[in-house]
Amino acid sequence: MRPDAIQLLSSTGSFGPVILVPIILADHFDASKGMIGVVVAAFAAASFLASYASGRAADIHGRRTILLIGLFLSGVVTALHAITLWSDSLVLFVSVRVALGLSAGMFPAALMAYAYEMKQKMGKFSSWGAAGWGIGAMCVGLFGTLYEWAFVTCAAIIFVSFAMALMLPFPKEKRLYVPLLPVRLIKRNAPVFSSMMVRHTGANMIWVTYPLFLLSIGADEVLIGAIYAVNAFSQFFIMSFIDRFDPIVLVAFGIGASAVTFLLFALAGSYWMIIPMQVLLASSWACLYVGSLRYVMDKNEEKATVTGLLSSSISLSGILGPLLGGFAAAALGFRGVMLIASGMAVVAFVIFVIEMRSSGELYRIRGVLRALR
């Protein structure tokens, strides 16, 4: 059984329902934009804790146990969302979202490290995650307001990925000692961790209310799912062939293209204008994510730990971004938030260049800098 299928199905079930959460909070629970930001940030906080802890545990204790526990718990907790909606309890819904952040944050680092050690190309392997996210977005969009059944279906898909993981061959793994606070690893990979966090904080300021923005410019639930799917399937295509490029160049391009994309979002007047922008968004994230992943995996023996740290930096931005974005959207509107996010991507690019100079690796992106002049 290939890990690609597990990546595809686990991503479909875990991340497809993400687009429903702001809509459910606004329509079903009558939550404010600020409250939506708090709920999304709580999910990200749980994922932040789980990503690093489980990545470190996978290096110390082995991949298989962490992978299986994470997938099984994710299936159970995803199904529990339906109960929270039937009971009409906001507190229970938020509690289950936090529990999903913990469980869904457990398995990606172990799965990614396993795939790397099985000699899979990281861009191609990551593309299956993007495809799964796209399929999930389209599927949950088709359920319309039948949110409970969308969650039940996604839970069933996760359980299928769990069954597949049970059949994966796990050769004898090298167990590593990783300190509780790996300062050396954090410093060595600081250029990617810090620039990723700043860029993605701005992005998450947008994503926390993005479905509501799309509703405001004429899209419905089905169209929102389709718009998300354009991004995801474009990522699938782009990630499939970018392994050939220097990861540093990919990161630099990804951050720069993000700044342009967020600026264009602020200028969009109708949902159909967003569709081509989703392709540019996909290009920026595909390059940034694959470049960052390859940078940390190629450079470090503690592959699950550094992958978990990368996921934690993404999750940390998922805490800060929604908290800032929810209240900023209430104060400045959706477009004001998008302009802030564009400026933050520019700051992230500057940070990346400065840290590349400090690490002696700036020569690897001089071609990109010349192209931007």
pLDDT tens digit sequence for 57-79:
887 877 888 999 999 999 999 99
Residue 1 has pLDDT above 70, yes or no: no
**371 to each of 3, 252, 348, 363, how far by Cα in Å?**
38, 12, 18, 14
How would residue 37 be classed by pLDDT, with cut points 50, 70 and 90?
A: confident
* pLDDT tens digit sequence for 326-369: 888 888 999 999 999 999 999 999 999 888 777 777 776 665 55
Q: What is the CA radius of gyration of the chain?
A: 19
Which one has a higher pLDDT value, 323 or 79?
79
What per-residue confidence (pLDDT) applies to 370?
59
What per-residue confidence (pLDDT) applies to 85?
86
Q: Which residues contact 306 (CB under 8 A, 6 or more apart)?
A: 55, 185, 189, 296, 297, 299, 300
Q: SS3 helix, strand, coil % of the chain, rounded to 5?
A: 85, 0, 15
How would residue 264 be classed by pLDDT, with cut points 50, 70 and 90?
A: very high
Q: What is the DSSP string of 236-251?
A: HHHHTTGGGS-HHHHH
Q: What is the DSSP string of 305-321?
A: HHHHHHHHHHHHHHHHH
**Tokens describing residue 297:** 């995996």
Residue 172 has pLDDT above 90, yes or no: no
| Mean pLDDT computed over 2-13 | 89
Cα distance between residue 332 and residue 17, in whole Å: 27
Burial 319-347 (b: 16+ CB within 10 A, else e): bbbbbbbbbbbeeeebeebbbbbbebbbb
DSSP 180: S
Residue 373 has pLDDT above 60, yes or no: no
**288 to each of 253, 258, 327, how far by Cα in Å?**
7, 9, 27
| Mean pLDDT computed over 174-194 | 78
Whether 347 and 258 have beta carbons less than 8 Å apart is answered as no
Which one has a higher pLDDT value, 186 or 261?
261
What per-residue confidence (pLDDT) applies to 114?
85
Give kind and range of the element (H or E) at residue 337.
helix 303-359
Residue 220 has pLDDT above 90, yes or no: no
Q: Tell me the CATH architecture of domain 3-167+182-372.
A: Up-down Bundle (1.20)
Helix (H, G, I), strand (E, B) or coil at 217: coil
Whether 102 and 49 have beta carbons less than 8 Å apart is answered as yes
What per-residue confidence (pLDDT) applies to 295?
87
What per-residue confidence (pLDDT) applies to 176?
67
Domain residue spans of the chain: 3-167+182-372
What per-residue confidence (pLDDT) applies to 144?
67
